[in-house]
Chains A and B, each alone.
Chain A
Amino acid sequence: MNQIGLTHFLILSTSLFFIGVYGFLTRRNLIVMLMSVELLLNSVNINFLAFNKYLYPGKMDGIFFSIFIITIAAAEAAVAIAIIINLYRRHKSIDVEDAEALKD
């Protein structure tokens, strides 16, 4: 069979990306929505590493970018979970449908 190449990685990352988008748009539990966002970010990491490995093997730009993404995603998740905890204290639920006081 064929060697595993850039295309395989791109197919993997793109499907992961759209699974994340689908999960974000359909799930109503805030924690699961946060997990879907992590899927988006991880698909981006795969993209960066695959491009770096196959197209620009001499440089390290892609690897550095994915390290920064992992770090910032951790910070983002920390703030998001703090906000979700506070939301739970006010609404007694982490379902998006229960937090809908604001609409037109």
Chain B
Amino acid sequence: MTEFLFLLKHELILGLILVILLIMKIGSKSMTNSSLISLMNGLLFINFVAGWFLNREGVLFGGMFQNSSLLVFEKNVLSLGTWIICLQSSAWMKNHKHLPEFYMLMISTLMGMFFMLSSGNLLMFYIGLELSTIPLAAMCNFDLEKANSSEAAMKMIMSSAFSSGILLFGISLFYGMTGTFSLGGPSYNFDGSPLQVLAFIMIFSGFAFKLSVVPFHLWTADVYEGSPVAVTSYLSVISKGSMVFVFASVMYTAFRGIASVWYDGLVVLSLVTMIVGNLFALRQNNMKRFLAFSSIAQVGYILIGISGSSESGMASSIYFILIYIFSNLGAFGVISLISAHTGRESVDDYKGMYKTNPMLSWVLALSLFSLAGIPPTAGFFGKMFLLTAGAAKGNYFLITIAALNMIISLYYYLRIIRAVFMDKNENSLPSVQGDFGSRLALICCVVGILITGFAGGLYEYILSLSHGL
């Protein structure tokens, strides 16, 4: 009877936090923003720490909900990322009128992602997916006075509604073929008939929209640019990370039978995604837009890892997402601090930043080096494992193109670093002092970037969790 308390632990804790927020919203009007921020930071930290204890494996609700140590690890990674984002965006949140609502929306999306990760059934998966995207669109609109923010939210809700329509049509064809919604059940009779391939393509395109794989990426840059920085980092790290986890596990379980079909599709899409993401990132002049295209290119590398065999593909993509959370949040932490204090976001504004903000410049440089994959940082190891997993299939053409793309990406990452360290600027940024929370978040990111790569046991640990997939 108490079994479900342990299996549903992550979701129940988030539900508890939601109830606390709701009571505080109704009960006391006197709570100031800064005390709410410290309370929420504490609660999210407790949520992250509590995620590691008292975990069980098993299924609930007749196989609709499942939990395993791999899923627990993925959920803890997402909780960590959410905690860091809340820490580093306190400067923006402090002056916001509707802060409790913002936290409520954020935690409901996180809960939706947890349900989506744990789903053993397409119905559960769909409900989790919608719970994680609909509030996210409302979050994009949270700079209520800014026209750009409402435009970003409009693009987000329209493209996500359209993509879930396509995904649902695929699911309905899937139901017509198999008569069940179960994802992990007995493997279906896949013989590659046209109907099965059509159903697969539609479900795949639904995923590709959410992952912003080229050619389904057009909404990404606009939404990233218009949203508040906290939401942009949430979108690019947490939302994308959870979609990668679900995508990999659905490919390896439900669609294992037509692996030969999806392998080719994945190869073509990852090639196009890397190339287009990199080429567009070259010409961006807004920091958020630049990171949007760089994140599109990173998804291309992740698809290479997923195209490998199931165990190493799963492990390498989870490991990469963990590193990606640290490196991207390091960069977004700096951008969010500077944007909250000065409101400037273009690359030209960052010229000569080293003179006035030496520490922030070093953090930004380290994060960008990690995103580019330069050896001492963790990003190098993440990309190496992804390419190794992809190379297991023997497709060396793909690996070569990926390596060439990494060289192109070096150009635009170094362009930012050159602007920060070398260029002169009369109107450079003023010296920005972060509060305790944002400093703690940046320290976490830097430690993560430096440690995750050298903690050699980590990858083996994730690999051991992915056994039996």
A residues neighboring B (CB under 8 Å): 17, 20, 24, 30, 33-34, 37, 40-41, 43-44, 47-48, 51, 55-56, 59, 61-62, 64-65, 68-69, 72, 75-76, 79-80, 82-84, 86-87, 89-91, 96, 99-104
Q: Does B144 contact A (CB under 8 A)?
A: yes
Q: Which residues of A contact B148 (CB under 8 A)?
A: 101-102
* Bound complex: CA A37 to CA B137 (Å): 16
Other A-B pairs beyond A30-B154, A79-B138, A86-B150, 16, CB < 8 Å: A48-B172, A55-B176, A65-B123, A65-B172, A72-B126, A76-B130, A79-B135, A83-B138, A83-B154, A84-B154, A87-B153, A87-B154, A99-B147, A99-B151, A100-B151, A101-B151
Closest B residue by C-beta to A84: B154
Could you list 12 examples of A-B contacts with CB < 8 Å?
A: A33-B158, A37-B162, A44-B168, A61-B181, A62-B175, A65-B123, A68-B127, A79-B137, A83-B154, A86-B144, A101-B151, A102-B221
A99 touches B134 (CB 8 A): no
A69 touches B168 (CB 8 A): yes
Are A83 and B181 also in contact (CB < 8 A) when A62-B175, A65-B175, A104-B283 are? no
Are A102 and B225 also in contact (CB < 8 A) when A59-B179, A75-B130 are? yes
Q: Which of A41, A51, A89, A101 contacts B168 (CB 8 A)?
A: A41
Q: Which residues of B contact A102 (CB under 8 A)?
A: 148, 151-152, 155, 221-222, 225-226
Q: Which residues of A contact B161 (CB under 8 A)?
A: 34, 37, 76, 80
Nearest 8 A/B pairs, CB to CB: A40-B165, A47-B172, A90-B147, A102-B222, A51-B176, A44-B168, A87-B150, A99-B151
Q: Which of B173, B176, B180, B284 contacts A104 (CB 8 A)?
A: B284
Q: Which residues of B contact A65 (CB under 8 A)?
A: 122-123, 126, 171-172, 175, 181
A101 touches B127 (CB 8 A): no
B residues neighboring A (CB under 8 Å): 122-123, 126-127, 130, 134-135, 137-138, 141, 144, 146-148, 150-155, 157-158, 161-162, 164-166, 168-169, 171-173, 175-176, 179-181, 221-222, 225-226, 280, 283-284, 289
Main secondary structure of the interface of B (DSSP, over half): helix
Are A72 and B138 also in contact (CB < 8 A) when A87-B151, A101-B151 are? no
A103 touches B222 (CB 8 A): yes
Min CB distance, B461 to chain A, in Å? 37
B150 touches A90 (CB 8 A): yes
A51 touches B222 (CB 8 A): no
B169 touches A76 (CB 8 A): no
Min CB distance, A17 to chain B, in Å? 6
* Bound complex: CA A55 to CA B152 (Å): 42
* Bound complex: CA A61 to CA B208 (Å): 26
Most buried by A among B147, B166, B173, B180: B147
Closest A residue by C-beta to B181: A61
* Bound complex: CA A64 to CA B148 (Å): 39
* Bound complex: CA A51 to CA B166 (Å): 18
